[in-house]
Amino acid sequence: MKIVIPSKGKNLEAEISEIFARAPFFLFVEIEENKIKKVEEWENQFLNQLSGVGMVVGQFLGEKKIDNVIVKNIGPRASEVLKGLGIKIFRGEGKIKDILEKFIEGKLKEIE
């Protein structure tokens, strides 16, 4: 399972970013058998784009075959793009390592 989380920092100790598409970084996490198998940090190459960032980030994640996104907040356009690509969106708050634990335990709420 492939998950992306917008992040204020470059590792699992970082806090989730307040805003999805304008996050400085995205953490790409692969989970297998309820364990974190891989973590990559992606710098947000779309951060300084003037408009349409949510849609562009959503399309980028679709190309990467992401299964789930965990966000604190997400705009309507980004949400629409992700859902249209079959990517599930969950709400999380706090440190990314804690958010992932809750996700693995099934304790995060999916955003409909």
Domains of the chain in start order, with CATH, are: 2-110 (3.30.420.130)
The token pair at 12 is: 């699992």
pLDDT in tens, 48-79: 888 889 889 999 999 999 999 999 999 898 99
Note the pLDDT of residue 51: 85
Q: How far is CA 13 from CA 7, 10, 97, 98, in A?
A: 10, 8, 6, 9
C-alpha radius of gyration, the chain, whole number: 13
Does the pLDDT at position 93 exceed 90?
A: yes
Helix %, strand %, coil % of the chain (to 5): 25, 30, 40
Q: What is the pTM of this model?
A: 0.93
Sheet holding 35-43, edge to edge: 35-43, 25-32, 2-7, 68-71, 88-91, 109-110
